[in-house]
């Protein structure tokens, strides 16, 4: 869901759902199944002048621990190093010239 104000600012709320992969969904009995996850991102921007855009965002707002299937397909053991980032944030500035 996005909102763009007439006053040079806006925001966005994004919800992504990733379904689980159970043993019956996977070819091979030794492949590790994964859980489902719902990830929520909240971002906003402000344009204080014509060519400058300031952005801020909080990503994975609900602090889900989850995997992308492409990163773990074929693995037989859980590897926490392959989880996607937990709650994190970013602030950026973009100047067009």
For residue 22, pLDDT over 80 is answered with: no
Q: Rounded mean pLDDT of the chain?
A: 91
- pLDDT one-digit tens code per residue, 36-86: 999 999 999 999 999 999 999 999 999 999 998 888 888 888 889 999 999
What pLDDT was estimated at residue 60? 97
Per-residue pLDDT band for 30 (boundaries 50, 70, 90) equals low
42 CB burial (10 A radius; 0-12, 13-18, 19+): middle
Q: What is the mean pLDDT of residues 2-7?
A: 96
Name the 3-class secondary structure at 94.
Answer: strand
CA distance 85 to 81: 10
Q: Could you state, in order of their start, the residue ranges of all structural domains in the chain? A: 2-95
Whole-angstrom CA distances from 41 to 2, 19, 25, 57, 79 are 12, 18, 28, 7, 24
Per-residue pLDDT band for 2 (boundaries 50, 70, 90) equals very high
**Which tokens sit at 41?**
């991102």
């Amino acid at each position: 869901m996005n909102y763009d104000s007439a006053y040079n600012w806006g925001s966005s709320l994004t919800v992504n759902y990733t379904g689980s992969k159970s043993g019956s969904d996977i070819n091979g009995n030794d492949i590790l199944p994964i859980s489902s996850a719902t990830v929520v991102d909240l971002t906003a921007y402000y344009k204080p002048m014509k060519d400058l855009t300031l952005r801020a965002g909080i990503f994975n707002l609900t602090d889900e621990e989850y995997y992308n299937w492409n990163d773990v397909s074929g693995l037989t053991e859980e590897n926490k190093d392959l989880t996607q980032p937990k709650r994190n944030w970013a602030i950026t500035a973009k100047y067009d010239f």
